[in-house]
Chain A
Amino acid sequence: MSPLIQLGTPEAREHPITPYIRMDRMPHIWCPTCGIGTVLKCYGTALGRSKLDLDKVSVVSGIGCTGRVAGYVKMDSFHSTHGRALPFATGLKLGRPELNVTVFSGDGDLIGIGGNHFIHAARRNMDLLVILVNNFIYGMTGGQNAPTTPLTARSSTMPLGNFERPFNLPHLAVTCGATYVARWTSMHTAQMTRTFTEALKRKGFRFIEVIAPCSTLYARLNKLGTGLDLMTYYRDNFEIRNKADTRELDLDFQSKIICGKFVDEERPTFLEAMEAHYRDALGDQYVPMPPEGGMLHGQD
């Protein structure tokens, strides 16, 4: 048989992302030119490149547009409550330490309602890959102000422009203890994919912010055109500054977007620190949680 895929066969129609996506759930709910799909595609590609056993990869989301990612990935996936993806993922990781857990959610979810969990998960260096899609606004609920909305940008609850200072997320993550911190825009598909691939293999609290257009709300409310116009804007206004001082990563309204990998270091994860500590304190008496978890098996 010819190794070439024949046109018109199912194989030919199969998108390379198919192994990572629940195709039976397509089409997705995201708006045309929304950036989330691009980020998801890059994540799928990175999973493929990482050669990880997908049976051992879990994805956890909170609530919101990006929160829907968990519903589309073809792995064990959890669509939890608003803001609680990180503690949910913490339980998942500690309940079965061999799992490779990604938290995929939005700025409002992870930093607004979930902000307290974010700082503590980073402080503990919980072994989680956190992909945060930042669209500067609450999308699912109709364009309300977010803790990431740039100063002067308009939202439905700040129609005259935002006057609250937004978070500088990479800096927040670093100061709280994240050991891997990067930022890209949804236009940087190649770089983003490389970063995801690398981060999937790292340990500890890995935080990647991806700036992505909310075409329907953020772009419209701020008269920025379409999602495509925002992508054009990213292309013309980014600067790659690896190892940048994270204090300089504030995002102003339509300002230059500093991208790159800012931090990549090693520190014991929560589990490593815990196990080392108990081994030190208790010696042979210490019984660690097995990698496959603490499940009591029945008699089959």
Chain B
Amino acid sequence: MDRTEVRVTGYGGQGVVLISTVIGRAWAVHAGKHAAMIQSFGPEARGSACSATLAMSETEVLYPYVRHPDVLVAMSAEGFELYKDELKDEGVVVYEANLVHPVVKPTQRAYGIPSTQLAEALGRVLVQNVVMLGFFSAITKLVPMEAMREALRHSVPAGTEELNMKAFEKGREYAEKLLAEHAPGAAKT
């Protein structure tokens, strides 16, 4: 991978920054590569849509901003609308299925997960972003899964590791099931 760009977007409070921090940390610290994460700051910058970007590379990231993401993680309809046009033609959208209803180009792929609902089922809607993170990890396979798990353990408040890991695996499992269903040769029902 020469350079991969990711944008994460949602509304304030959904944990956009945590998602991008964990991905960046996993890639830069635990996988030993390079990842520059930039969050958009305050209402002056973006209104209520919250966003963070990641530029990931094998070598030092020279240009830290993201112009044409390979992956767009969308957790709000507003965020998706705001950023969908910059997505690469062969880009991937990973989205919250109950909040975002993306229409993408035929060359792009989109994968949805009812992450809020799944988080609710775990008893804490707050971990919605971590469900999304597990989903992202399994869909994109950008970062080794173990690095993601390690980064997540480092990034959540002490005492919440178990719940967060559970949320992560929930998202990952959902993705794997989804991919299996869409895999070539998978039984069509």
Direct chain A–B contact by Cβ atoms under 8 Å: no
| Residues of A participating in the B interface, judged by any CB pair closer than 8 Å | none
| Residues of B participating in the A interface, judged by any CB pair closer than 8 Å | none
